[in-house]
Amino acid sequence: MSAPRRPTDPSGLERYYVLTGGRSGPGGSGSSLDVATLIVSRTGPLPGMQHEHEEILRRCRDPLSVAELGAHLGLPFNILAVLLADLLDAGRIEARDPIPAHHAGRGPDLALLQEVLSGLERL
């Protein structure tokens, strides 16, 4: 007779608990992260790193927003923020505030906004 099967956690909460070591939110340097913060790798992955940390370092060779990174990895913001805080504290990534268009010396790209609006209207 086979051993009783353990029920799986369809919500993924058990996986998230393991990924973050039981932490529910970032502390220290990770507490200032938001979805528009740009993340850039400062180093490459090391052997033996947690898989998610490796993926973050690989994907962020070029600046990537926290929102985009979360979508690529399939992780909710608070879980991703804990992982990013780990990498920030270790000096493996850099977090940059996005530069608003009005500070960059130009206003919003009206042609792009018009294309987006047209695309939404077609839906």
Q: How far is CA 12 from CA 41, 65, 106, in A?
A: 27, 23, 43
The total of other beta-carbon atoms located within 10 Å of residue 74's CB is 9
Q: CA-CA distance, 57 to 115, in Å (whole number)?
A: 33
**pLDDT at residue 119 in the model:** 83
Q: CA-CA distance, 63 to 42, in Å (whole number)?
A: 11
Query: Can you point out the beta strands (E) in 63-114?
Result: 64-65, 93-96
Token look-up 């979360």 returns 70
**pLDDT at residue 102 in the model:** 56
Per-residue model confidence as pLDDT tens for the chain (123 residues): 455 555 455 556 677 777 777 676 676 666 678 888 999 999 999 999 988 999 999 999 999 999 999 999 998 888 899 899 999 999 999 998 876 655 555 666 778 788 888 888 887
**pLDDT at residue 98 in the model:** 76
pTM, rounded to two decimals: 0.67
What strands lie across the sheet with 93-96, from one edge to the other? 64-65, 38-41, 93-96
Q: How far is CA 43 from CA 31, 32, 85, 94, 114, in A?
A: 22, 21, 15, 10, 39
Angle at 30 between CA 52 and CA 76, to 5 degrees: 50
